[in-house]
Chain A
Amino acid sequence: MAVKIDRFLLCMTTAIFVATSSPTTFANDMLDFNRDIQPLLADRCYPCHGPDEHSREAGLRLDRQDSAHGTSEQGAAIVPGKPKLSELVRRIHAADESEIMPPPELNKPLKPDEKAILMRWIAEGAIYQKHWSLVPPRRPQPPVANLEDSFKSPSPDHPVDRFVRKKWQQQDLPASPPANRETLIRRLTLDLTGLPPSPQQIDAFLKDSRPDAYDQLVEQLMSTTAYAERRAQDWLDLARYADTRGFADDKTRDIWPYRDWVVQAIDRNMPFDQFTVLQLAGDLLPNATDQQRLATAFHRNAPQAKGVTYQTEEYRIKGVIDRVNTIGRVWFGLTLECAQCHDHKFDPITQRDYYSLFALFNNIEHRGSGHGQGGPTMEYTIGSNQNGKSSDDRLKLETELATAKGLLPPAPKMDAKYVIGHWNKHSVAQDSNQYSLTGDLTIAAKIRTEATVANIASKYDWRGQQRSYAFGVGGEGDTGSRPGHLYFWVSSKTHPFTGATVYGSQPVNDGIEHRVVVEFVAGKSIRLIIDGIEDQAAQITGSIPASIAKSNRRLAIGAGYQGTNEPNAYRFEGELSEIQLSDQAIADSILHGDAAKRVNKLQAVLQKLDRQQTRQVVAKVPIMRERLEPRETFVHLRGNFLTVGDPVSPAVPKVFAVTNRQQPRNRLEFARWLVNGNNPLVARVVVNRIWQNYFGRGFVSTVDDFGAQGKPPTHPKLLDWLAVELVESGWNMKHLHRLIVTSATYQQSGKITAAARRTDPENLLLSYMPRTRLPAEQIRDQALAISGLLVHKVGGPPVFPTQPENYWQQRALPGQWSDSEGDARYRKSMYTYWRRMALHPTLELLNVPARENCVTQRTIANVPTQALVLMNDPIFHEASTAFAARLLREEGQDERQRLELAFRLALGRSPSSAERDHFSNFIAEQNHHINMTASNQKDIWNLVCSVLLNLDETITRP
Chain B
Amino acid sequence: MTKLDSIETAVARRTFLKESAMGLGSIALQSLMGSEANGDDAKVAHHGINQGILGKTHHPQRANRVIFLFMAGGPSHVDLFDPKPLLNKLEGQKIPAELLKDHQAFALIRGTPELKGSPYQFKSHGESGTIISELMPYLATVADELTVIRSMKTTTNVHDPGVNMMNCGSTLFGRPTLGAWLSYGLGSENQNLPAYVVLTSGADDGQPLLQSFWGNGFLDSRHQGVPFLNGPDPVLHLKNPNGVSRSERRKQLDLMAWMNRQQHQQLGDPEILARIASYEMAYRMQTSVPELKSLNEETRQTLESYGAEPGKASFANNCLLARRLVERGVRFVQLYDRGWDSHTDIQREHKRQCTAADQPIAALLKDLKQRDLLKDTLVIWGGEFGRTPVAQVSGKTYGRDHHPHGFTMWLAGGGVKSGLTVGKTDDFGYHVAEDPVHVRDLHATILHLLGIDHHRFKYKFKGLDLGLTGVDPARVVTDIIG
Contact = CB atoms under 8 A, between A and B. Distances in A.
A14 B240 CA distance: 60
A918 interface: yes
Contacts of B237: 868-869, 871-873
Contacts of A942: 243
B266 interface: yes
Interface residues of A, number: 89
A743 to B, nearest CB: 20
A837 B211 contact: yes
Nearest to A750: B267
Contacts, number: 226
Nearest to B221: A861
Q: Which of B108, B230, B236, B462 has the most CB of A within 10 A?
A: B462
B21 A701 contact: yes
Interface string B144-165: 0000000000000111100000
Contacts of B230: 810
Given A311-B104, A947-B252, A762 B19 contact: yes
Contact of A107 (B159, B286, B456): B456
Interface in A890-949: 914-915, 918-919, 922, 925-926, 939, 942-943, 946-947
A105 to B, nearest CB: 8
A847 interface: yes
A926 B269 contact: no
A250 B208 contact: yes
A918 B258 contact: yes
Interface stretch (B6-14, B120-128, B371-379, B474-482): B6-14
A341 B336 CA distance: 33
Nearest to A43: B465
Interface string A844-883: 1101001011000001111111111101111001000000
B282 A862 contact: no
A864 B279 contact: yes
Interface stretch (A1-9, A489-497, A705-713): A705-713
Given A709-B463, A761-B16, A947-B255, A862 B236 contact: no
State the 3 A-B residue pairs at the shortest beta-carbon distance, nearest first: A867-B282, A709-B463, A864-B282
A418 interface: no
A811 B209 contact: yes
Contact of B226 (A812, A860, A865): A865
Contacts of A311: 104-105
A919 B8 contact: no
A773 interface: yes
A810 B463 contact: no
Contacts of B274: 862
A655 interface: no
Interface string B226-245: 11011101011111110110
Contact of B107 (A309, A347, A871, A926): A309
Contact of B15 (A761, A812, A852, A872): A761
A54 B160 CA distance: 33
A871 B275 CA distance: 13
A812 B200 contact: yes
Given A311-B104, A926-B248, A752 B269 contact: yes
A915 B262 contact: yes
A773 B271 contact: yes
A305 B19 CA distance: 38
Given A771-B271, A810-B230, A837-B210, A861 B236 contact: no
B290 interface: no
A839 B224 CA distance: 14
B278 interface: yes
B286 to A, nearest CB: 8
Contact of A804 (B23, B231, B267): B231
A804 B282 CA distance: 19
A67 B435 CA distance: 43
A345 B208 CA distance: 38
A171 to B, nearest CB: 13
A26 interface: no
Contacts of B291: none
Given A862-B271, A872-B237, A943-B244, A811 B229 contact: yes
A618 interface: no
Interface string B245-281: 0001101100110111011001111011011101101
B25 interface: yes
Contacts of A346: 463
A114 to B, nearest CB: 16
B9 A758 contact: yes
Contact of B23 (A862, A873, A950): A862
Given A246-B173, A859-B221, A861-B222, A868 B231 contact: no
B355 interface: no
B221 A761 contact: no
A865 B282 contact: yes
B207 interface: yes
30 contacts: A246-B173, A305-B158, A308-B107, A309-B157, A335-B464, A709-B463, A751-B267, A761-B12, A807-B229, A810-B230, A837-B210, A841-B236, A850-B174, A859-B221, A861-B221, A863-B278, A865-B194, A868-B236, A868-B237, A869-B237, A871-B252, A871-B282, A872-B240, A873-B236, A873-B237, A926-B251, A950-B252, A950-B279, A952-B275, A953-B260
A251 B220 CA distance: 28
Nearest to A853: B174
A919 B255 contact: yes
A813 B213 CA distance: 12
A573 interface: no
A956 B263 CA distance: 11
B20 interface: yes
Contact of A248 (B23, B159, B259, B268): B159
A334 to B, nearest CB: 8
Nearest to A751: B267
Contacts of B208: 248, 250, 812-814, 837
Contacts of B173: 246, 303, 850, 852-853
Contact of A868 (B8, B220, B235, B271): B235
A309 B211 contact: no
A702 B23 CA distance: 16
Given A838-B210, A872-B239, 4 more contacts: A804-B233, A850-B211, A862-B222, A868-B285
A915 B227 CA distance: 39
Nearest to B281: A864
B282 A310 contact: no
A926 B202 CA distance: 47
A852 B157 CA distance: 21
Interface string A752-781: 100001110110000000010100000000
Contacts of B21: 697, 701
B368 interface: no
A593 B265 CA distance: 65
Nearest to B106: A309
Contacts of A309: 107-108, 157-159, 402
Contacts of A807: 229
A408 interface: no
B227 A811 contact: yes
Interface in A298-314: 303, 305, 308-311
B43 to A, nearest CB: 17
Interface string B269-313: 101101110110111011000000000000000000000000000
Nearest to A707: B463
A943 B252 contact: yes
B255 A922 contact: yes
Contacts of B463: 335, 338, 346-347, 702, 705, 707, 709-710
Interface in B440-465: 455-456, 462-464
Nearest to A334: B463
Contact of B260 (A850, A863, A919, A952): A952
A812 B338 contact: yes
A951 interface: yes
